[in-house]
Amino acid sequence: MRLLLDTVAFIFAVEAPERLSTRVDVALQKPENVELSAISLVEIAIKSTLGKLRLSSEDARKGVEDLGIRILPYTAEHAFHLFELPLHHSDPFDRQIIAQALAEKIPIATPDEKFSLYQGLKLIW
């Protein structure tokens, strides 16, 4: 089963694995099924530049490599799903990740409870 990590789940996996749920920790034992959106890398880069995150480019790259996860490119098809997405969540990065997961029909690993407001989105935590 494919699984898309939300940005915060990826950050937990890299910086504080003890904060991951057991289900996500188990999923990371099969990294061939785990993906990270390219949008998450954009979010990390922007928030790091603004001083809102401590995760560096090197840390993010090493995290992806060490965890053995695949980067899921963001496509026009994913973006078109944003047109139909209700505004339950105001964070533009999260909205793009939600649209991507819905388009790909894959669950998201996230502790963010707002994600549960989206019909048809399966959450793992």
pLDDT digits (tens, 9 = 90+) for 27-76: 999 888 999 999 999 999 999 999 999 999 999 999 999 999 999 999 99
> What three-state secondary structure class fits 28?
coil
> pLDDT tier at 120 (50, 70, 90 boundaries)?
very high
Domains and CATH numbers, the chain: 3-124 (3.40.50.1010)
- What is the torsion angle, in degrees rounded to the nearest 10, for the CA atoms of residue 47, residue 48, residue 51 and residue 56? 160
Mean pLDDT (the chain, rounded): 95
Rounded to whole angstroms, how far apart are CA atoms 82 and 17?
31
**pTM, entire model:** 0.94
Rounded to whole angstroms, how far apart are CA atoms 12 and 26?
14
> pLDDT tier at 4 (50, 70, 90 boundaries)?
very high
Q: Which two tokens stand for residue 27?
A: 């999923």
Q: Do 14 and 60 form a contact (C-beta atoms < 8 A)?
A: yes
Query: What pLDDT, on the 0 to 100 scale, is given for residue 1?
Result: 82
Q: Which residues pair with 36 in a beta bridge?
A: 5, 71
